[in-house]
Amino acid sequence: MIIVLKPQATPEQVENLKGMIQEKKLNPVPFEGEERIVIHVLGDTREEYSKAWKALDFVENVVPILRPYKLSSKEHHALKTIVRVGDVKFGDTEFVVIAGPCSVESEEQIMRAANIIKGMGLKIMRASAFKPRTSPYSFQGLGIEGLKLLKQVREETGIMVETEIMDVRDVPIAADHVDILRVGARNMQNFDLLKEVGKVDCPVILKRGMSATVKEFIMAAEYILYNGNKNVILCERGIRTFETAYRNTLDICAVALLKQETHLPVIVDPSHAAGGRELVFPLSKAAIAAGADGLLVEMHPEPEKAFSDGDQSLYPEQLARLLKDVKRVCAAVDRSFG
């Protein structure tokens, strides 16, 4: 960490600051430039110190040199993490497609969806029992009832299931009913939830908040890892920008950067980025080409009757077509699929 002092900083102030740094058991080494004094802080610095030091009137800026994340970082953990869910491996050479409806709506709907997916050779279905909805007047999900339907799907079809978890109190029961928990974009910085999913023995898909920086995203993963759960899969799903022509702006740079910076698997949700089903095709192909390890795609047996996200859900035949495209692009970037 580097502390840049203002031009008018006095020798007393410099000494004072050195004392404060030493109190934290860190080593301050001043460096006099031509227009500014700069103090290097050696040791295990943490971001929280930076604000206290920046609080001083004679400090101009505090510049971190090291990354704030450790457990997620490739620098500290060179081997890539492979998250296993049944016989599926995330983060290895195989490419994984998770598909399914936005919500669990009924036994009939979810069984139909599972059988469609199974028929296409996929092994994991997405479907939310709990729904974060902008409006209190919108369908809020079937809740625990939905979890039970998902468990039933697993038992009857052999398809594994992935679902969103929103409330800390529901983590244990959800972990018991499904194969993968998902922390949604709106909860990426719900730190109590991150801590709870960090304590269970169930893989977690962590979606990027719609205005979270890549650094904040990795720090959210760090919370889960730090609490003991090593099976974290990162999911880019589009960020909020000024553009309104689509629901979100898929941040393909982030996919590539996350693969560079962390050892965790990275998947892409093209459906929430697109907000319309035509764009799901090009975004899915772009995700593979950019190095993603998998996709999380919305498919509904009858999108025009969906309780939520019907406009961005693929028709079953569209999913079949998408999978053919996926296979071809995977081959071009040395990934196996299907």
Site for a second copy in 16-75 (CB under 8 A): 20, 29, 31, 33-36, 38, 40, 42-43, 46-48, 51-56, 63, 65-66, 68, 75
Q: How far is the CB of 154 from a second copy (least distance, A)?
A: 25
Spell 219-228 as b/e; 16+ CB within 10 A means b.
bbbbbbbbee
8 A C-beta contact, residue 28 and residue 13: no
By CB under 8 A, residue 108 contacts a second copy: no
Q: How far is the CB of 145 from a second copy (least distance, A)?
A: 17
Considering only 109-117, 145-153, 171-179, 185-193, which stretch makes contact with a second copy by CB under 8 A?
185-193
Rounded to whole angstroms, the Cα distance separating 202 from 159 reads 16
Q: Of 131, 164, 118, 134, which Cα lies nearest the Cα of 301?
A: 118
Q: How far is the CB of 198 from a second copy (least distance, A)?
A: 9
By CB under 8 A, residue 84 contacts a second copy: no
By CB under 8 A, residue 10 contacts a second copy: no
Burial (CB < 10 A; 0-12, 13-18, 19+), residue 177, is buried
8 A C-beta contact, residue 225 and residue 71: yes
By CB under 8 A, residue 321 contacts a second copy: no
Considering only 82-90, 91-99, 115-123, 160-168, which stretch makes contact with a second copy by CB under 8 A?
160-168
8 A C-beta contact, residue 305 and residue 313: no
| Residue 45, beta-bridge partner list | none
By CB under 8 A, residue 176 contacts a second copy: no
Q: Which of residues 117-156 bind a second copy (CB under 8 A)?
A: 132-140
* CA of residue 82 relative to chain centroid, distance: 16
Per-residue contact flags (x/-) with a second copy for residues 289 to 318, judged by CB under 8 A = xxx-----------xxxxxxxxxxx-----
Q: How far is the CB of 53 from a second copy (least distance, A)?
A: 8
